[in-house]
Amino acid sequence: MSSTNKSAAPNGASLPIRLVPDPVLRKTARAVTPDDAAEIATLIPAMFATMYAAPGIGLAAPQIGRLLRLVVMDIAPDQTPAPKVLINPEILESSTETATREEGCLSLPEQYADVTRPAWVRVKYQDEHGARHEIAGDGLLAACLQHEIDHLNGVLFVDYLSALKRNILLRKLAKDIRDRAGKK
């Protein structure tokens, strides 16, 4: 679906995930407002369906072509599900200590690289009912929060890599996409 199409998939059906080099992935998403309530209510179940089907642990609205500051995530999809909706998330604080983890992205399928980020973050956000919350964490939670908030700002995990590593990974992705298209 194009980013101008306001309708989401019905009943939480999966949506197409935008892949690099789609230009929408490099744009800054706008804040969600009360006027977006109906669209957000439809997008949330569709985004969870898309994320779980991929499979992934986080998905930002720009990845499905919607330039809205909306993230869904579940960092424990194989254990007890813990789905979380973050509307207008904002990093309030991060540690000076860093941690390096292997990251991947649904918009760069089957591409992984070690990314160094702050080891701990504190984020404020609103839930789907408009209630304000804060969440803080380290490890996978911190990495996922930062990765998804980056998407809202047009930043991809490959932007943290050296130019050489980034170019190798992007060339490999382009080849994989061409190969998959040729097999259809």
Q: Which residues are catalytic?
A: 148
Q: Please state, in angstroms and rounded to a whole number, the distance separating the CA atoms of residues 38 and 44.
A: 10
Tell me the pairing of strands 84-94 and 58-60: unpaired
Q: Please state, in angstroms and rounded to a whole number, the distance separating the CA atoms of residues 81 and 60.
A: 18
Q: Which residues are CB-neighbours of 50 under 8 A, at least 6 positions away?
A: 9, 14, 15, 17, 59, 64
Tokens of 109: 């399928």
Across the chain, which distance is largest between two alpha carbons, in Å? Answer: 47
Tokens of 152: 């809202």
The secondary structure of residue 99, as a DSSP letter, is: E
Q: Please state, in angstroms and rounded to a whole number, the distance separating the CA atoms of residues 135 and 119.
A: 14
The secondary structure of residue 107, as a DSSP letter, is: T
Q: Please state, in angstroms and rounded to a whole number, the distance separating the CA atoms of residues 75 and 68.
A: 21
